[in-house]
Amino acid sequence: QVQLVESGGGLVQAGGSLRLSCALSGTIFNINTMAWHRQAPGKQRELVASITGGGSTNYRDSVKGRFTISRDNAKNTVYLQMNSLKPEDTAVYYCNVRTLTFKGINDYWGQGTQVTVSS
């Protein structure tokens, strides 16, 4: 059974840093991307950052220069280093693994970890 287990969330003051981790247990074939999404209260879930198996990264504009996504393929783990945090970064952060096969796209999700940034 596949599980994505996130850790590293918490409460931090504005300007501080947090590092999120997402460990994948079980076996998933044909991983296309690993990513972090977030959802603030009353808002839609949004993509924060993604990384391909080859290491290509993509970030939403509001986190560029502050957040860094990385992955350790040997450990099946994806990380999100978050620096210079702002109150507007407050949200539940979800790890996502996307597979791509001839049958289409399949998404796996973690349970989410709360990040709260105080002003």
Q: What is the mean pLDDT of the chain?
A: 95
Q: What is the mean pLDDT of residues 85-106?
A: 94
Closest-CA residue to 111 (of 34, 37, 17, 28): 37
Q: Which two tokens stand for residue 52?
A: 């391909």
Single-letter code of the amino acid located at 20 = L
Q: What are phi and psi of 65, to 5 degrees?
A: 85, -10
Q: Is pLDDT at 1 greater than 90 in this prediction?
A: no
Instruction: Check residues 102 and 64 and name the one with the higher pLDDT.
Output: 64
R_g of the chain, CA atoms, integer Å: 14
Specify the pLDDT at position 111.
95
Closest CA to 68 of 90, 84, 86: 84
pLDDT (tens digit, 9 = 90+) per residue, 3-51? 999 999 999 999 999 999 999 988 888 888 999 999 999 999 999 999 9
